Amino acid sequence: MGGFAFRNHPSESVLAPLWAKALALSEADGDAGLVVVTIDRVGLSTELMGSIETECEDRFGLAREKLVIFCSHTHSGPMDWPSVWMKDDPEEIAKVEKYSQWMVERVVDAVGEAIAHRKPASLGFSQGLAGFGVNRRRARPGCRHFPGPVDQDVPVLRIADAEGKNMAILFGYACHATSLAGYEISGDWPGFACEMIEGRHAETTAFFIPGCGADINPLPRLLPGREVALSKMYGEIMANAVDLTLSTNDSGKERPLSGPLTIRRGEAELFYENIPGEAEIAVLQQHFDPMMRRSGRDLHAMSKSPEGIPLSLKYPAWVMRMGDLLWIALSGEVTVDYALALKARYGWETTWVSAYASPVKTYFPSRRVWQEGGYEAGDCMVSSSHPSRFREDVETRILEMVENLVP
C-alpha cells in the first residue's frame, strides 16, 4: 500500500473497491477536446503515466496535453514505488508491477469507452463549502501558532444529457485522503463520497478531483476503533455538500458553461537548493533511517550516471477553459496557498484550482511554508531521493508558468 512509511507488510483485506474513471469532453462534432481521468491511488509514477499517455495516443489519437490524470491520493490504495520494508525483494516488486500494468490497461480502456460514448450534454458549474479539512501543520508539536489557511470550497461541475438528467458530477476538495491508515484497501473518504453521490443519483458517475490539500488533513482522524466510521462520515459530509450545492442550482446559482473548450499544458523549471557532494551522500548511505539510506543509494547512482544528479525538476500544469470556468490543474502535492493566490487573482466564483495531476512525487511549498520550514517545506524531499528541497522561488516559478498559460 502507498502513502504511509510506517507500514511494514502488504494489505490484508478490501474495505471498498478502487476505481479509475474517465470523462471525455469535446465541442459539438469535435474530436475529444479533453479527457479527465481519476484514479484511486496515492500517486502515479512517471513510467506508469507515460504508459497511459502512449497507449491513449496510439489507440485513440489523444494528444498528451489533452489528457489530465488526477490521483485521489488515497493512502489506502496501491503503491507506485516499492516500500522500504520490501527490501528490494524481487517477488514483492513483481506483484506491484503486475498490478500496475493491469491498472494501466483498465485506465486506457476507460478512456476509450468515454471517448466512444460521448453524446450531447450541458455543463454547469457551482460551488459549495465543507468544513472538515484542517491545516495539519498546526497539529505538530510547537506549531499551534502557525497560520492555518484552508480552502474549503467544494467546486461542482455537473454534466447532464439532452433531457437534463445528470450523467456525471465532478467535485473537488483540498484535503488529504488520510482518514484511514490500516491495512484495508479503500478510496478513503473521497471513495465513500463518490459511492454516496452515485447511490443518490442513478446512472451518474461521480469524480473526485483533489485540490491543493498538501498541508490539509481531515480532522479529527485515526481515533482508535472509530477510524472507518469517521472516514465514512467525511464521505457523507462531502456528498451532502455536493447535494446542497446542486439543490440550490434552481435558484440560478449554477453557471451554465458553453464553449469554446480550450486546454493548455505548460512546464515550470524548479531548481533544487543544493546538490549534495560525495561526502554528504556517503552520510546518507550510513543513515539510521532506511528511507534516508535508500535516498543515499539513489543519489549515489544518479551521481555516477552520465547525466549526474539533476539540478532541477520539470513541473507540468494544465489550464482549461470552458465558458466562464477557468480550471487550473497543478501537479503533485501543492500547499493550500497556491489555490488561494490563484483564486484571488482570477476570481473566486469561476476559478477551480486542482492538484495531484500527473506523477510529480513530492510537495510544493508556498514561499510562506518554505520559510516556516518543516515536512511540506522540503524535509520530506531528502528521504524521497530528491537532492535537496527546492529554492525559495518555487512558488513564484509555478505561478508565473500558470500566468503565462491563462491568456
Which parts of this chain interact with Zn ion (CB under 5 A)? 333
Half-sphere exposure of 70 (CA within 13 A, CB side): 27
Amino acid at 162: A
3-state SS assignment for residue 276: coil
Q: How far is CA 194 from the centre of its chain?
A: 16
With b for 16 or more beta-carbon neighbours within 10 A and e for fewer, the 35-44 pattern comes to bbbbbbbbbb
| Closer residue to Zn ion (CB): 154 or 380 | 380
Q: Which three cell numbers stand for residue 258?
A: 458553453
CB of 214 to Zn ion, least distance (A): 6
CB of 234 to Zn ion, least distance (A): 16
CB of 75 to Zn ion, least distance (A): 8
| Closer residue to Zn ion (CB): 25 or 175 | 175
| Closer residue to Zn ion (CB): 178 or 350 | 178
CB of 176 to Zn ion, least distance (A): 6
Q: Which three cell numbers stand for residue 347?
A: 476570481
Please give the angle made by the CA atoms of 203, 39 and 350, to the nearest 5 degrees: 75
| Closer residue to Zn ion (CB): 22 or 353 | 353
| Closer residue to Zn ion (CB): 80 or 333 | 333
Residue positions counted in the chain: 407
Q: Which residue has the closest beta carbon to Zn ion?
A: 333
User: Distance between CA 40 and CA 75 in Å, rounded?
Assistant: 9
CB of 381 to Zn ion, least distance (A): 13
CB of 215 to Zn ion, least distance (A): 9
| Closer residue to Zn ion (CB): 2 or 316 | 2
> Position of cell 517477488?
91
Nearest-10 crossing angle of helices 227-247, 188-200: 50
User: Distance between CA 220 and CA 133 in Å, rounded?
Assistant: 9
Going by the DSSP 8-state scheme, the letter that residue 377 receives in this structure is: I
CB of 179 to Zn ion, least distance (A): 13
For the four alpha carbons of 203, 57, 318 and 218, in that order, the dihedral sign comes to: positive
For the four alpha carbons of 374, 375, 377 and 381, in that order, the dihedral sign comes to: positive
CB of 82 to Zn ion, least distance (A): 18
Give Cβ neighbours of residue 284 (< 8 Å, ≥ 6 apart): 276, 292, 293, 295, 296, 299, 382
- Number of C-beta neighbours around residue 266 at 10 A: 18
φ, ψ for residue 68 (rounded to 5)? Answer: -115, 120
CB of 333 to Zn ion, least distance (A): 5
| Closer residue to Zn ion (CB): 115 or 212 | 212
| Closer residue to Zn ion (CB): 40 or 333 | 333
| Closer residue to Zn ion (CB): 195 or 333 | 333
